[in-house]
């Protein structure tokens, strides 16, 4: 059966293979709950929710019917520092899996977990049943299907998780705002200066884009007039003649481990910046970096009681504001499905009850949107995310409003 692209998987070339023939060392334990992989953007808040967080001053842990999430980061810094890839074991007795780095990679890993297909003809191992949820920082795209009439077993269901926004981080002195037109000029290498770098007001800057497979990258490229599926001119090093490659939401080094250049302009999640500054997320900031605004006269954040908080006006912007998603196999969470998974549905916050709405989602479920400090929604806010301001997580039949076919190889 031909598989079509969905979401960030369309931009993917980074996962040539998901499996290896022999186990490799890894930091995380195997999972007795539901394995979650993918996006860097929401990995830190998901780690807090999976392991238990006190970021709000209350002890909060997501669970469903006594089962929890097991969250696997997009990269292992110890391996990245050595210039090698890392692998994860997600389930007891399962194979070693190349760590999915980014939204697209997570969706592909989930898809191969669902259909059991191998990611390369040179591999013989299957990762069937090893991944339960993919984190995604961009809305699914590709051919949408109606899961109520389609084949639920090969459909991905995407549930809005929390609201984020994009801007840029920079180590350039005095750079506080860049318009969309100026970002376009930078990332398309216009108005080059004597060093071959794009200029704004006579100053040369080095644009830095997230790695291939990143949902943030897929979301950002159309903003500056480029194809969301555009590939690197030099894998992991350069996107085009002037744009370098970084690891998503990380300003302490480039993707290949080289130092960030001076006057760098790095695409960055506002929520991730807030979490890093406030000390609830892993601090990946480089020396001298600050967060700028991509909307004239509108700051991405404000300060309340010494802590950064989202600016709702910035997050509501239709160009730079975005929803993040949790994606799973539709047949496991659709009411009426013969393979409905009560525990996975409870972890997410899905119910078969007629008339069940977003407001009914329990405080310990991942889709919860409350602002109370003793809820999952409160933890999301502590990590810099806003409530989903675009849509409810579900339609009248408690089905996600976005879905599509399995991610392509």
Give per-residue pLDDT as tens, 131-141: 999 999 876 55
Q: Would you say residue 178 has pLDDT above 70?
A: yes
Instruction: Read off the pLDDT of residues 317-342 as tens digits, 9 standing for 90 and up.
Output: 999 999 899 999 988 988 778 898 99
Exposure string of 263-296, with b = 16+ CB inside 10 Å and e = fewer, is bbbbbbbbbbbbbbbbebbbebbbeebbbbbbbe
The residues, ordered by sequence, that sit 6+ positions from 315 with a Cβ below 8 Å of its Cβ are 163, 164, 165, 270, 321, 386, 389
- Greater confidence (226 vs 401) lies with 226
382 in helix, strand or coil? helix
Beta strands in 19-151 (DSSP E): 34-38, 69-71, 87-88, 97-98, 133-136
Mean pLDDT of the region 142-163:
73
Q: What pLDDT was estimated at residue 405?
A: 61
Q: What pLDDT was estimated at residue 18?
A: 47
Helices (H), 52-102: 77-81
Q: Would you say residue 142 has pLDDT above 90?
A: no
Average confidence score pLDDT of the chain: 84
Instruction: Report residue 374's pLDDT band, with 50, 70 and 90 as the boundaries.
Output: very high
Torsion of CA 150, 138, 209, 308, to 10 degrees: -160
Instruction: Read off the pLDDT of residues 212-240 as tens digits, 9 standing for 90 and up.
Output: 989 899 999 999 999 998 999 999 999 99
Give me the percent of the chain exceeding a pLDDT of 90. Answer: 60
Q: Would you say residue 308 has pLDDT above 60?
A: yes
Angstrom distance (rounded) from CA 280 to CA 134: 22
Instruction: Report residue 351's pLDDT band, with 50, 70 and 90 as the boundaries.
Output: confident
- Count of residues making up the chain: 409
For CA atoms 298, 103, 351, 46, the dihedral sign is negative
Give the burial class of 257: count Cβ atoms within 10 A of its Cβ; 0-12 exposed, 13-18 middle, 19 or more buried: exposed
Do residues 106 and 248 lie in contact, with contact meaning Cβ atoms separated by under 8 Å?
no
Instruction: Report residue 21's pLDDT band, with 50, 70 and 90 as the boundaries.
Output: very low
- Greater confidence (177 vs 29) lies with 177
Instruction: Report residue 85's pLDDT band, with 50, 70 and 90 as the boundaries.
Output: confident
pTM of the model: 0.87
User: What phi, psi does 6 have (nearest 5°)?
Assistant: -140, 135
User: What phi, psi does 63 have (nearest 5°)?
Assistant: -160, 160
Mean pLDDT of the region 15-26:
40
Helices (H), 279-367: 312-315, 342-348
């Amino acid at each position: 059966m031909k598989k079509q692209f969905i979401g960030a998987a369309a931009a993917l070339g980074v996962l040539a293979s998901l499996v290896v023939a022999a186990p490799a060392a890894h930091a995380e334990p195997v999972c007795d709950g539901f394995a979650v992989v993918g996006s860097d953007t929401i990995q830190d808040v998901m780690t807090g929710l999976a392991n238990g967080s006190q970021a709000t001053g209350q002890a909060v842990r997501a669970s469903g019917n006594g089962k929890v999430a097991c969250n696997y980061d997009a990269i292992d810094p110890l391996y990245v520092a050595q210039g090698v890839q890392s692998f994860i074991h997600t389930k007891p007795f399962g194979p070693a899996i190349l760590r999915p780095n980014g939204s697209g990679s997570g969706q592909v890993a989930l898809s191969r977990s669902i259909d059991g297909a191998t990611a390369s003809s040179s591999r013989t191992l299957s990762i069937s049943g090893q991944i339960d949820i993919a984190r995604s920082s961009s809305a699914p795209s590709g051919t949408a299907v109606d899961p109520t009439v389609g084949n639920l077993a090969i459909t991905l269901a995407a549930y809005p998780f929390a609201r984020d926004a994009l801007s840029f981080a920079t180590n350039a002195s005095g750079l506080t705002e860049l318009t969309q037109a100026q970002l376009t000029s930078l990332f398309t290498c216009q108005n080059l200066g004597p060093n071959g770098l794009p200029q704004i007001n006579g100053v040369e800057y080095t644009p830095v884009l997230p790695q291939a497979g990143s949902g943030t990258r897929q979301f950002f490229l159309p903003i500056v007039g480029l194809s969301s599926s555009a590939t690197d001119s030099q894998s992991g090093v350069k996107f085009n003649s002037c744009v370098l490659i970084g690891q998503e939401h990380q300003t302490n080094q480039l993707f290949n481990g080289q130092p960030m250049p001076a006057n760098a302009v790095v695409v960055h999640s506002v929520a991730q910046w807030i979490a890093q500054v406030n000390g609830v997320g892993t601090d990946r900031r480089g020396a001298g970096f600050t967060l700028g605004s991509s909307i004239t006269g509108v700051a991405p954040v404000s300060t309340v009681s010494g802590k950064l908080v989202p600016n709702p006006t910035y997050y509501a912007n239709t160009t730079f504001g975005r929803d993040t998603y949790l994606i799973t196999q539709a047949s496991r969470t659709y009411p009426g499905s013969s393979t409905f998974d009560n525990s996975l549905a409870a972890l997410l916050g899905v119910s078969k009850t007629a008339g069940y709405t977003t407001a009914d989602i329990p405080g310990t479920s991942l889709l919860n949107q409350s602002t109370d400090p003793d809820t999952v929604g409160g933890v999301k806010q502590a990590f810099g995310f806003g409530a989903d301001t675009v849509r409810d997580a579900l339609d009248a039949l408690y089905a996600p409003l976005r879905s599509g076919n399995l991610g392509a190889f």
